[in-house]
């Protein structure tokens, strides 16, 4: 949070800090109820294909497999914040292992995600760990090719169908912008571990079977995961501000969504739908977010988002600085035309 704004923060904010701290017992329970089903489904899919089962059967299992991959990523995400386990070394070691399962390098993603937390909603610090979002003025001033690329990027098919493969299979194999030697070294080892795992499973079950299992799980899990990340900050109304007016407190409570999900979906996604609380204090582990919400009435904000309402965010593509809202491409034409 901005040090200059500390005196304006509400008194209840100190209560939020009380939910920091890991509970190793709860963390171990989560590891068991997440990794055992995920690995069992993964193995069962491989065995079924190896035994010649009809292809629709393992593909059907890829749906719950993808769901448990999302939950695995949430545990990885908590390790990146150092909040999942009480031991820092244990957090880091577990994060590296979970990162292999989630096809995401631990050290590099931890760095880029930390930047996301320190800059979410800041118009002057876009570009790393976020969804590419242009302002109406920037879009109007862009050459035709850049406009075309932006429209292609913001297309739902690009974001949610091709996006998972691009991010988890390709983009995560390379260091992010500004990565240091430590992150690059971790990435090299991460990629080597993935190659070794893929080679071992290909030898044991055949490369096509392994690629089908891994690819289908990434496909279903990636769609859900990227959708969750998208609606966490791309919704109406949300928060964007220039650096001189930006506040991390406002970015958390106004620019991070409270996504109400069915109980099973909230469990699978590790309470990450309570994203306003997570951005308010990322040191709170996923298994304490709901308790934090229940204990502090001020966090029960108006305008929570359900699934039906979240679908409307797909058509919001550009930030209108004058109006302070996200608008569609169609709406932007009316805003650009008078100029």
Q: Per-residue pLDDT for 270 more than 90?
A: yes
d(CA 316, CA 30): 35
**How confident is the model at residue 4, as a pLDDT?**
40
Residues 292, 14 contacting (CB under 8 angstroms): no
Contacts of 209 (CB under 8 A, 6+ apart): 46, 49, 50
d(CA 274, CA 166): 27
**How confident is the model at residue 310, as a pLDDT?**
93
Q: Domain ranges for the chain, please list them.
A: 22-336
Question: What pairs with residue 134 in β-bridges?
Answer: 318
Mean of pLDDT values over 37-49? 97
For the whole model, what pTM was predicted? 0.93
Q: What Cα–Cα distance (Å) separates residue 79 from each residue in 98, 283, 285?
A: 9, 10, 9
Q: Per-residue pLDDT for 5 more than 60?
A: no
Q: Using 50, 70 and 90 to split pLDDT, how confident is the model at 337?
A: low
Mean of pLDDT values over 240-252? 95
Q: For 68-114, how does the pLDDT look when each residue is reduced to its tens digit (9 = 90+)?
A: 999 999 999 999 999 999 999 999 999 999 999 999 999 999 999 99
**How confident is the model at residue 338, as a pLDDT?**
54
């Amino acid at each position: 949070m901005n040090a200059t704004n500390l005196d304006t923060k509400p008194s209840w904010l100190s209560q939020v800090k009380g939910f920091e701290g890991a509970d190793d017992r709860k963390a171990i329970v989560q590891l068991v109820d997440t990794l055992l089903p995920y690995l069992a489904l993964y193995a069962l899919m491989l065995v079924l294909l190896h035994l010649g089962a009809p292809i629709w059967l393992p593909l059907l299992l890829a749906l719950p497999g993808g769901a448990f991959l999302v939950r695995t990523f949430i545990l990885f995400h908590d390790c990146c914040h150092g909040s999942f386990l009480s031991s820092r070394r244990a957090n880091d070691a577990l994060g590296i292992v979970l990162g292999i399962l989630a096809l995401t390098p631990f050290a590099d993603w931890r760095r880029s995600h930390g930047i996301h937390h320190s800059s979410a909603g800041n118009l002057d610090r876009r570009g790393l760990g976020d969804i590419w979002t242009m302002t109406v003025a920037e879009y109007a001033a862009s050459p035709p090719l850049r406009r075309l690329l932006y429209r292609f990027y913001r297309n739902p098919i690009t974001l949610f169908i091709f996006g998972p493969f691009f991010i988890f299979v390709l983009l995560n194999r390379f260091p992010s912008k500004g990565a240091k030697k430590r992150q690059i070294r971790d990435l090299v080892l991460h990629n080597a571990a993935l190659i070794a795992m893929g080679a071992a499973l290909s030898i044991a079950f055949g490369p096509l079977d392994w690629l089908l299992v891994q690819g289908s799980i990434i496909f279903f899990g990636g769609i859900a995961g990227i959708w969750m990340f998208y609606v966490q900050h791309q919704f109406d109304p949300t928060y964007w501000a220039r650096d001189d007016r930006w506040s991390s407190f406002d970015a958390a409570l106004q620019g991070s969504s409270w996504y109400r999900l069915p109980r099973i979906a909230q469990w699978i996604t590790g309470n990450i739908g309570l994203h306003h609380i997570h951005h308010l204090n990322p040191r709170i582990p996923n298994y304490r977010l709901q308790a934090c919400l229940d204990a502090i009435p001020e966090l029960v904000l108006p305008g929570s988002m359900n699934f039906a309402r979240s679908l409307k965010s797909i058509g919001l593509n550009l930030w209108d600085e004058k109006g302070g809202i996200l608008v569609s491409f169609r709406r932007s034409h009316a805003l650009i035309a008078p100029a």
